[in-house]
Amino acid sequence: MVASSSDASPRSSSVPSVPETPIAHVTGAAVSPRWRRVVLKLSGEALASAASDETIDAATVARLAREIAAARAEFEVEMAVVVGGGNIWRGTIGAGEGIDRATSDTMGMLGTVINALALQDAIEREGQPTRVLSAVHMAEVCEPYIRRRAIRHLEKGRVVILAAGMGSPYFTTDTPAALRAAEIEAQAIMKGTHSGIDGVYSADPRLEAGAERYEEIGFMEVVSRDLRVMDLTAITFCRDNSIPILVFDIMRPGNIRAALAGERIGTLIS
């Protein structure tokens, strides 16, 4: 399969063209970003509607897109987004219903591509250039993931949306988020939660009223206390590669900007 040019990407005719140059820095902004290059990890459920059974809620996706585009413009931060597919299909659930696990996980990977295309459309409607890079090759839909290509897109001011996980079954999308962060030399992973939990707690705050929220916690504490904020493979990988993780509530408007501005939100794992 012949890869497309790094400056060419398939577009739907319904999506207006967007500029190829980075959006200008907002005039008068005095705050420097906490990190210059980040990976934003979104679950598939973050794109769904809590009020209905919609798999992808247009209003929710549009709100996230506005926040991503605004943060890119204000801070000129280089941002890659890894999106899950749990709103469409979960490999473990399919395996539990008798579907072969490798097949079920592949179905989940395709779900992440659907979510990535929805997010791409919404972000480009905000005037922010994007590229979708997939670990599973589908040239008619998006570009293949190539490390140097991803970095080049980031340097050109494009939001890079990484889909299809690692292209292999038996991994959650937390693990490819950690792997891609290391590959593109991101300074941090921003993991947005969607269930109203605004960080890492000593126990599930929905079940235990006295659960303590940590402002900062070490990787080994997360592992030893079995806090389950991310896949264990992702946690140990980030520890070994010194990649901090900020866990915060993605559903609260303004939190993406607040995280990049260095405000004390969520929990920093380092």
Token pair 């990484």 is found at: 162
Which residue carries 């264990």 as its tokens?
Answer: 232
- At 247-258, the pLDDT tens digits run 999 999 999 999
**Which tokens is 53 given?**
């059974």
| Type of residue at 111 | G
Mean pLDDT of the chain: 88
Where does residue 54 rank: exposed (0-12), middle (13-18), buried (19+ CB within 10 A)?
A: middle
**pLDDT of 99:** 93
Please name the residue that has the structure tokens 């962060």: 181
Of 186, 178, 56, the closest CA to residue 119 belongs to 56
Instruction: Give Rg (Cα) of the chain.
Output: 18
Give per-residue pLDDT as tens, 209-226.
Answer: 888 999 999 999 999 999
Please write the tens of the pLDDT for every residue from 163-182: 999 999 999 999 999 999 99
130-134 vs 159-163, strand pairing mode = parallel
The predicted structure's pLDDT at residue 12: 40
CB-count burial class (<10 Å; 0-12, 13-18, 19+) for 177: buried
Among the listed residues 156, 107, 117, 112, the one whose alpha carbon sits nearest the alpha carbon of residue 140:
117
